[in-house]
């Protein structure tokens, strides 16, 4: 992943893998960073303030996209909409259908833990959560997406992207910069 904004040069090591079984998108994020913070524990809490990884995806060319944001504990904020403002949050029962396993466990980290820290997050997002797009299968489909890593309130804020985002300041809600995913 790369930094799209020169004002935020810190680049933690971030790798991700994506797979599917036709009905579920599986994501694995592997992160190594110089500090972690994890204050948020409830669905739709502002997890981007913590050590966070994100998956934004648009199943069709209708300009609707979904954002799935996870802190290093697996707490998730999920929404759908056409732009940053006016997004419709997915309800907690829907979010709870996303399977998550975080190697840092589930206990909050209310004060930033310093030093080189490695963590992984495994998620399984059912396609039934694409509430505005009744998908039958992922097999053979194409979607537009981007993957992100951020930490808005860490001692050293950072904003990384898989597909470069051309905006004056960090802004992940830019579907025009999504890359293409092909689901075989």
Note the pLDDT of residue 61: 84
In angstroms, the CA 141 to CA 183 distance is: 5
Q: Tell me the per-residue pLDDT of 119-147, one tens digit each, with 9 for 90 and over.
A: 999 999 999 999 999 899 999 999 999 99
SS3 labels along 67-84: EEEEECCCCEEEEEECCC
C-alpha distance from residue 95 to each of 13, 113, 130 (Å):
27, 27, 11
Written as one string, the DSSP assignment of 109-136 is EEEEEEEEEEEEEEEEEEGGG-TTS--S
Note the pLDDT of residue 128: 96
In angstroms, the CA 132 to CA 182 distance is: 20
Residue range of the domain that includes 115: 2-182
**3 state SS of 92:** helix
Provide the domain count of the chain: 1
Note the pLDDT of residue 54: 98
Note the pLDDT of residue 163: 97
Residues of the chain with pLDDT under 50: none
Burial of 66 (0-12, 13-18, 19+ CB in 10 A): buried
In angstroms, the CA 157 to CA 7 distance is: 10
What CATH number should be reported for the domain holding residue 154? Answer: 2.60.40.1190
Q: What's the token pair of residue 106?
A: 């589930």
* Cβ-proximal residues to 85 (8 Å cutoff; 6+ apart), any chain: none
Q: What's the token pair of residue 150?
A: 């951020």
In angstroms, the CA 138 to CA 130 distance is: 11
């Amino acid at each position: 992943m790369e930094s799209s904004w020169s004002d935020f040069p810190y680049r933690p090591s971030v790798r991700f893998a994506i797979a599917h079984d036709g009905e579920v998108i599986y994501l694995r994020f592997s992160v190594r960073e110089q500090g972690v913070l994890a204050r948020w524990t409830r669905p739709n809490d502002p997890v981007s303030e913590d050590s966070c990884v994100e998956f934004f995806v648009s199943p069709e060319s209708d300009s609707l996209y979904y954002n799935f944001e996870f802190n290093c504990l697996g707490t998730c904020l999920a929404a759908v909409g056409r732009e940053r403002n006016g997004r419709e949050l997915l309800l907690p029962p829907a979010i709870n259908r996303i399977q998550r396993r975080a190697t840092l466990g589930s206990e909050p980290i209310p004060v930033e833990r310093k030093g080189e820290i490695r963590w992984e997050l495994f998620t399984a997002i059912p396609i039934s959560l694409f509430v505005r797009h009744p998908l039958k299968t992922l097999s053979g489909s194409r979607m537009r997406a981007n993957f992100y890593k951020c930490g808005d309130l860490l001692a050293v804020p950072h904003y990384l992207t898989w597909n470069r985002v051309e905006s004056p300041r960090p802004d992940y809600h830019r579907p025009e910069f999504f890359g293409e995913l092909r689901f075989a």
